Amino acid sequence: MKYQATLDGKQHEIHVIEKGEGVFEVVVDGQAHTVDALPLDHGAVSLIVDRASYSVEMEESGDGKVNVLVRDHVFTIELLDERRMRMRLAGGRFVVEGPQVVTAPMPGKVVRILVAPGQEVKEGQGLVVVEAMKMENELASPKDGTVKEIFVQEGASVEGGAKLVMVE
């Protein structure tokens, strides 16, 4: 099976060939490895790659990517197989332009709104302060623009991912 992986913005070609029960030849960007892979519960995988042992923890990140913890490092990888790659290529890239919606990065409480609709803001300027776990977190504008809409009120509790402010 062939996969295309994206890690830190770079593409990698990976070819997985099953050699026996739990034993694989894995070719990453043309370099081949013998891999003994044992999947365990809770998304853990024990890998023995050319004799080196790695206890790897996998976690779906929710946006189709997977966070991979190896030793002391975390890697966020997006993996596509050939079919999904073709779909992606056919669909083209999603272009980030036009109005931007700032969302709550975690559940919390809106303690202050720092801007008003119609106000001009600069990239990096604070828009809303959300408190969670006793910490105030100021959420900044992703770009220069105008505040188009404010979706929340001061004092409101919001879920992670809730829309807060739209900047255009």
Residues in touch with other proteins (CB under 8 A): 1, 3, 5, 7-8, 12, 14, 16, 18, 22, 24, 26, 28, 33, 35-49, 51-59, 66, 68-75, 77, 79, 81, 105-108, 111, 131-137
Question: Which lies closer to other proteins via its Cβ, residue 79 or residue 149?
Answer: 79
Give the SS3 label for residue 42.
helix
Of 115, 125, 122, 124, which is closest to residue 148 (Cα–Cα)?
Answer: 115
Least distance (Å) between residue 61 CB and other proteins: 10
Q: Which is nearer to other proteins, 18 or 168 (CB)?
A: 18
Tokens 């809106």 belong to which residue?
110
Dihedral of the CA atoms 31, 37, 40, 43 (nearest 10)? 10
Closest CB 44 distance from other proteins, rounded Å: 7
Nearer residue to other proteins within complex by CB, 58 or 156: 58
Residue 91 parent element (H or E): helix 82-91
Inter-CA distances, 98 with 94, 144, 145, 151, 152, Å = 12, 11, 10, 18, 21
Least separation in angstroms between CB 135 and other proteins: 6
User: In the complex with other proteins, which residue's Cβ is closer, 43 or 149?
Assistant: 43
